[in-house]
């Protein structure tokens, strides 16, 4: 019997730790212009907004919905952008319920650096799926968040669920 530590692998987080992800420009502007959605974790392209998974998630399935247009101010969104953010939020919640079965959700904007926005000049609406018991001692004692599934496995599940909703 091995009495050592279990290993938790999350190699994609190294870019966050070393800060190299900050040299890529605004992810909400750059990534949708590229043609590699899976690599960029881009789940859906709408008319005025897109859905992207958070590369450095709080929980499995943590997604962000943002307008294509670069703005950090909620009051600058036009009616089409506001409506699409809300419609895509509903679609994401339904897709998550159908694919990863969370017990609840945290959803909302972090507007401005003081509010916790990691990218404060391009607003984005977060949806974080939550499960009963998904908080434990690791973040408190070990300053570590355990993500229990590889991010691309979660991407594939959510992408399939969103595509199924689009077909209806």
Q: Which residues are annotated as a binding site?
A: 54, 116-119, 126
Binding site members for substrate: 54, 116-119, 126
Active site residue 21: no
Beta-bridge partners for 127: 63, 107
Could you give the CA distance from residue 71 to residue 106 in angstroms, rounded to a whole number? 23
Cross-strand bridge partners of residue 104: 130
Tell which residue, 157, 168, 142, 139, has the closest CA to residue 60.
157
- How many whole angstroms from its chain centre is CA 149? 14
In b/e form, how buried is each residue of 136-163, taking b as 16+ CB within 10 angstroms? Answer: eeeeeeeeebebeeebeebbebbbebbe
Q: Pick from 9, 11, 90: which is nearest to 46 by CA?
A: 90
Candidates 50, 62, 122, 124; catalytic one: 124
**So which residues are the catalytic ones?**
124
């Amino acid at each position: 019997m091995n009495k050592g530590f279990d290993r938790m692998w999350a190699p994609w987080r190294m870019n966050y730790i070393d800060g190299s992800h900050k040299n890529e420009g605004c992810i909400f502007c750059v990534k949708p212009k590229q043609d590699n959605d899976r690599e960029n974790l881009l789940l859906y392209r709408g008319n005025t907004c897109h859905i992207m998974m958070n590369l450095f998630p709080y929980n499995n399935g943590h997604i962000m919905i943002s307008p294509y247009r670069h703005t950090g101010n909620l009051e600058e969104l036009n009616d089409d952008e506001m409506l699409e953010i809300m419609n895509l939020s509903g679609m994401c919640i339904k897709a998550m319920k159908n694919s990863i079965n969370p017990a609840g959700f945290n959803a909302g904007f972090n507007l401005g650096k003081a509010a916790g926005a990691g990218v404060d000049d391009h607003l984005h609406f977060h949806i974080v799926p939550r499960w009963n018991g998904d908080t434990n001692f690791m973040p408190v004692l070990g300053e570590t968040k355990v993500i229990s599934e590889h991010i691309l496995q979660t991407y594939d599940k959510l992408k399939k669920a969103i595509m199924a909703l689009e077909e209806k």
